[in-house]
Amino acid sequence: MTKEEMGKAYQLAKARVVNEPTDISIFSGFGLSDFEPVHVTLDSVAALINWQALQFNGQYDPVALNEIAIAGKKKFIIIN
pTM of the model: 0.91
Q: Evaluate if residue 17 carries a pLDDT over 60.
A: no
pLDDT tens-place string over residues 47-78: 999 999 999 999 999 999 999 999 999 999 99
Instruction: Give the per-residue pLDDT at 16.
Output: 79
Percent of the chain predicted with pLDDT > 70: 95
Backbone angles phi, psi at 2, to 5 degrees: -85, 170
- In the structure, what pLDDT confidence band is assigned to residue 80 with cuts at 50, 70 and 90? confident
What Cα–Cα distance (Å) separates residue 30 from each residue in 8, 13, 16? 20, 18, 22
The mean predicted confidence, pLDDT, of the chain is 92
